Amino acid sequence: MRRIVLSSALLLANAVPALSSELPSRKPGLWEVKTSIENVNAPARVIRQCIDAATDQMLQSIAGPFDPASCPERNVQSSANSTTIDFKCTVGGKPATARSLITGSLDSAYTMTVTAQSDRSAGGGMTMTMEGKWLGACAADQKPGDIVLGNGVKINVPELQKRSLSTIPLTPGESR
């Protein structure tokens, strides 16, 4: 449960983990995203993200508890007012399901509620709500992919991914 909450808080707060071509992009610029998880004794987490079209699509498709390898079966339904994504997954060899419901405008403010069910989760499931609000252009010292955590720490997700990949040897005994 702790692993799901941690990766969900960082990754799902960014966007819905579905095939990026299936979802509309958020408006480029600075977004504030507040994430709360039901029945967890912790305050809501607030982050700020600087995105452009490319980093928004990347954030929508990167791994998380609902990555394509774990959740190959997805059903995306869109209407004028909402997008619903149903996932069928295998997590730790056990079946799991999730539903994401996005309402509002990806140009100004949206709410996304993710409900996940799994035998591995305490109580069998979890509900997480993310509220995103567009704040305007990114600050002068920000670049697309920057996420400012509630404690002021700034990370850049594309750079973090590059660093993680650069530490993986191409063959045993080889380094980059």
pTM comes to 0.76
Say if strands 94-105 and 29-37 run parallel, antiparallel, or are unpaired. Answer: unpaired
Look at residue 8 in the predicted model and tell me its pLDDT: 39
pLDDT along the chain (176 residues), means of 10: 38 40 80 92 93 85 61 86 88 87 94 87 82 96 94 92 64 46
Look at residue 62 in the predicted model and tell me its pLDDT: 59
DSSP 48-79: EEEE-HHHHHHHHHS-STT-TTT--EEEEEE-
Look at residue 79 in the predicted model and tell me its pLDDT: 87
